[in-house]
A and B are shown apart, each in its own frame.
Chain A
Amino acid sequence: MARPRSRSAADGVDVETLEQLCASKEIVVSTGSGGVGKTTTAAALGATAASRLGIKVLVLTVDPARRLASALGMEQFGNVETRVPDAAFAAAGAEVQGELWAAMLDTKQSWDDLVRRHAPDAATRDAILANPLYQSITGKFVQSHDYVAMERLYEIHNSGRYDLIVVDTPPTRNALDFLDAPERMADFFSSRLLRWLIAPYRSRVLGLASKPFYSVADRILGTQFLEDIAEFFILFQSMYEGFVERAQAVTALLGSPQTTFLVVSTLEVAPSREAAYFLSLLEQRRYHVGALVLNKVLPEFLLDPRGTEAAGLLATRGDEVGAKINEALSLGMPHAGTVLTEIGRSFMDYQVVGRRENEQRRELAAIPELTLSVPYFDDDIHSLEGLLGLGETIWS
């Protein structure tokens, strides 16, 4: 089921580097399971694109765990798009030809904005904003995040304010929801069940308990809650068309040639499997998978067969080797043998992991256009300098 490669090179240029990818796309969606450096990778890519391509870039994070601010070296930024000052680039020892902006998604705020935009009149708007179900859905529940994230992405892209938008998504399983959210929302508003639920409130002719369905629903949910639901959806119906249209447009945008997906992973067992799953899913749906970025990859020297031989000797005969070295160089270090044995064993241990990673990488690399490996860094990245450094290692 190989995807025709030509689709990615719609503009006739083969993509060989992230630089080319960023230069030819308008939206980069960064996906991957939690803890693999997805947010950091998105921020690094955004910062590097702004610095090197001289374009206006927005990094938009939709991850409920608020990580991007610290990675961008900003104290905080909220729902409002905020520019990372040129001075920050200067302090990081970098020149910035373009502009780097960042925004985080505040679900509640974005929903409120959405209602304000789509509501037909002030009365409907206020009624929706005050409805307890609306407040609960937007404030507390998880999936509403996904829909509003896509909606916001669409809105920002459409505004034409940026040359490139790098979107950071929630972890993989949720990223699925993220892709499906617009469609699901549209389906929901046209659901038959919903129409049934609303019908008696709309006409006020039918007594609630007159039909078995409602008597059951009433027993399960309680009258007040049913009324809240009905009110909520009757109000939302007035925005129905706007919603469905938007949802379709968002879905189309994700599949358009302007958009590419970045899959970020480590080569650990669980994240790799999720990455493989997500890669195949994106391929199935014919989304463009621009690149696979592998973080925290163990160095290749661990696979060196000469290393294996030496480590094997140390692990089994470390004491003997240590004693000889001690004698030959008059080290006076009786523990040398123990240390050498440990060193040999440790190498063998890490080699097991290194080999597994290597196989994993080969399997994952089959789908994306590009596969880039980022070595282990001793510490997480907290500064723009660090982000730009990371960006450089994968950029061209």
Chain B
Amino acid sequence: MPAQRSGLGLLDRRLLFVTGKGGVGKTSVASALGHLAARHGKRTLVCEVDSKGDLAEFFGVGPLGFEPTEVRPGLHAMAMDTEESLKEYLRLQLRLPMLAKIGPLARTFDFLANAAPGVKEILTVGKLTFEVREDHYDLVVVDASATGHVVGQLASPVAINELVKVGLVRNQTDWMIDILTDPDRTAVVVVTAPEEMPVSETLELVERLGNETDIEVASVVVNRVLPELFARSDEVIFDRLREPDAMAALGERVGPGIDTVMQGAQLAVSLRRSRVGHLTRLRDGLPAGLPVLNLPYLFTRSHGPRATGKIAESLGEELGF
């Protein structure tokens, strides 16, 4: 039962797919999870699936390739490349090294992979489960596809299995499915934000994962939770300070910018408030016992290793480290 797992339970898995609606901060949570796992002594690989190149920035390193780069002690990062994955598959798993070497044929295969739906998905999931099977890492964290596509990706071995009844590919998908559907080894982490659409999509995704796959959801991470500006009990002070006499007095002491600053405070209050309802809806809509972790909004200029470290810290606190 997911309810009983917390803290290291999450990091004790072998393969974590981090997904969520686009723009909620999947990559930042995936990199923070990797960061945290490595800090707890786990040999960790973080893999970016959509190869947008964002992951490298979160770790403060140059462009990532298919060959993993050690970005910190014990923490490795790579970018998925389905053509490389196919070559590795032909070489290592089917023991057909010559096929991988024939340039034009490899290109044709890549071409097939681009054109024939499903091939890219299986090459991606295949590579990730392979790393787990071979015990290359203690933990593989996947910066996975967005909600709209992740179910198709995770379900691809089963879909291929239904199509291909015998042959080597069939043997391959069998072990992939074993790893994917073992809740002790594999789980999904859904990242969301306290806004309407991300919450709706998260609820939908958790339900779809339950209905269409046998892969466990380990937790939901709410990213970018805005801070409470001041306690509810102090609201009357805020209201009083905005009365004309107080504003005039404040203006005398801090200058004419006080109007703007108060406007900013009002903005902060209403942004925070508009999100509370979405958080409640999320908690109410999720299956009982599924852990929900909160990460604060970071007021930083950009993301980078420093921000990743901060998020990892908050995540560690939420996980009870």
Contacts and interface: CB of A to CB of B under 8 A. Distances in A.
B253 A329 contact: no
Contacts of A309: 254-255, 257
Q: Which of A65, A273, A352, A379 has the most CB of B within 10 A?
A: A65
A9 interface: no
A171 B260 contact: no
Interface stretch (B130-138, B261-269, B281-289, B312-320): B261-269
Interface in B6-48: 21-25, 27
Interface residues of B, number: 84
Contact of A346 (B236, B241, B268): B268
B146 interface: yes
A270 B23 contact: yes
Interface string B125-151: 000000000000000000000111100
A282 interface: no
A280 interface: no
Interface in A220-246: 220-225, 228
Given A63-B148, A218-B167, A343-B229, A307 B23 contact: no
B168 interface: yes
Contacts of A347: 260-261, 264-265
B88 interface: no
Interface residues of A, number: 87
A339 interface: yes
Interface stretch (A92-100, A152-160, A310-318): A310-318
Given A67-B197, A268-B23, A379-B274, A306 B260 contact: yes
Contacts of A170: 148
A311 B264 contact: yes
A34 B148 contact: yes
Given A222-B170, A343-B229, A216 B260 contact: no
A343 B262 contact: yes
B257 A307 contact: yes
Q: Which of A306, A346, A352 has the most CB of B within 10 A?
A: A346
Given A36-B23, A306-B255, A339-B234, A144 B117 contact: yes
Contacts, number: 240
A355 to B, nearest CB: 8
B148 A64 contact: yes
B117 A142 contact: yes
B249 to A, nearest CB: 5
B267 to A, nearest CB: 7
Interface string A200-220: 000000000000000010111
B166 A304 contact: no
B3 interface: no
Interface stretch (B63-71, B72-80, B108-116): B108-116
B232 interface: no
A328 interface: yes
Nearest to A328: B249
Given A35-B22, A173-B50, A353-B299, A301 B260 contact: yes
B261 A314 contact: yes
A142 B250 CA distance: 58
B198 interface: yes
A330 to B, nearest CB: 11
A132 interface: yes
B303 interface: yes
Interface stretch (A114-122, A186-194, A366-374): A186-194
Contacts of B25: 270
Given A136-B159, A329-B249, A220 B167 contact: yes
Contacts of B152: 140-142
Q: Name the 10 nearest CB pairs between A and B, nearest first.
A: A34-B22, A222-B167, A141-B117, A35-B23, A310-B257, A306-B257, A188-B115, A307-B260, A349-B299, A380-B196
23 contacts: A136-B162, A140-B155, A143-B117, A143-B120, A171-B146, A174-B149, A188-B116, A192-B108, A218-B167, A219-B167, A221-B164, A222-B168, A223-B167, A224-B166, A308-B257, A309-B254, A310-B256, A338-B230, A343-B264, A346-B268, A347-B260, A349-B299, A380-B197
Given A310-B256, A350-B264, A376-B267, 18 more contacts: A34-B148, A65-B147, A65-B148, A141-B156, A142-B153, A193-B112, A222-B167, A270-B27, A299-B263, A306-B256, A311-B264, A324-B253, A328-B249, A329-B249, A333-B236, A333-B240, A378-B273, A378-B274
